[in-house]
């Protein structure tokens, strides 16, 4: 097993508070609505830290049929807009990875803009590290869902205002 991580920082044209509400507080509602080719449905079991988000992949997602990703919320701090979850089951867990921890922090950069600092830490099942090709869908997926939420919020300025 090999431990590794990757980080990204991405600018968004919506406030940290609005991005937080859409991407962190209600992903189980927004992701299937905004990305129906990737997520067929989603649910949140419980509330706050310890809650479980389950995302079911759509057939067009190129994930195995019936595939899902189950994540446990570890950190949910609205004062610093810090979110962290641990993948428990599904997705790449048990296939390529032993563990995966995702963290995002939204930092205001203006009245209606923010930067998302995204960090992914993982442990592989095998003895090698992940290649850039293997990391690309993890990174692109993390950024892609946030960009989809941003687009929705820009098109709907009264949502989470």
pTM: 0.93
- pLDDT bucket at 95, cuts 50 / 70 / 90: confident
Neighbours of 49 (CB within 10 A): 13
pLDDT of residue 31: 97
The first and second tokens of residue 124, run together, are: 């592989």
Reply yes or no on whether the pLDDT at 65 is more than 80. Answer: no
Neighbours of 126 (CB within 10 A): 11
pLDDT of residue 158: 97
Q: C-alpha dihedral over 37, 51, 105, 145, to 10 degrees?
A: 0
Average pLDDT estimate for 61-73: 85
pLDDT of residue 61: 84
For the chain, percent of residues with pLDDT exceeding 90: 88
79-to-20, 52, 121 alpha-carbon distances in Å:
11, 21, 23
């Amino acid at each position: 097993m090999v431990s590794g991580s990757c980080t990204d920082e991405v600018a968004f044209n919506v406030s940290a508070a609005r991005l937080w509400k859409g991407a962190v507080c209600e992903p189980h509602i927004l992701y299937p609505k905004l990305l129906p080719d990737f997520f067929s449905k989603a649910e949140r079991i419980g509330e706050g830290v310890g809650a479980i988000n389950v995302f079911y992949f759509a057939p067009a997602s190129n994930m195995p049929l019936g595939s899902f990703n189950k994540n446990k919320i570890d950190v949910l701090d609205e004062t610093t807009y810090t979110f962290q979850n641990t993948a428990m089951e599904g997705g790449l867990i048990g296939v390529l990875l032993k563990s995966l921890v995702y963290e995002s922090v939204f930092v205001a950069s203006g009245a209606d803009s923010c930067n998302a600092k995204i960090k992914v830490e993982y442990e592989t099942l095998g003895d090698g590290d992940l290649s850039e090709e293997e990391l690309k869908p993890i990174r692109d997926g993390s950024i892609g869902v946030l960009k989809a939420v941003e687009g929705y919020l820009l098109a709907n300025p009264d949502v989470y205002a």
